[in-house]
Amino acid sequence: MMNTLGQRNIKNMLRYIKLEEAIFKENNDEFVCKTAHSVEEAKALVEVGFEYVCDIEGVKLFRKRK
């Protein structure tokens, strides 16, 4: 990977990776949120890429990055 990035020093490569992660996180904090009231609804959401977040008052909450 260092050769691909053109880096000779591992410290520089790690800085580059951390910078890329910070930019990615900053620009992708928007989510589509959905609820599921049954196992079938939850299954359908997971199948299209939603991730389970929590359960509130019997309703399961899911999210997927925009």
Per-domain residue ranges for the chain? Answer: 2-65
Between the CA atoms of 15, 24, 54 and 48, what dihedral angle is there, to the nearest 10 degrees? -130
Cα separation values, 16 from 5, 19, 24, Å? 9, 5, 12
- Considering the entire predicted model, what is its pTM? 0.58
At position 23, the amino acid (one-letter code) is I
Between the CA atoms of 60, 61, 65 and 66, what dihedral angle is there, to the nearest 10 degrees? 110
In tens digits, the chain (66 residues) has pLDDT values of 445 555 466 666 666 666 666 655 555 678 899 999 999 999 999 999 999 999 998 999 999 988
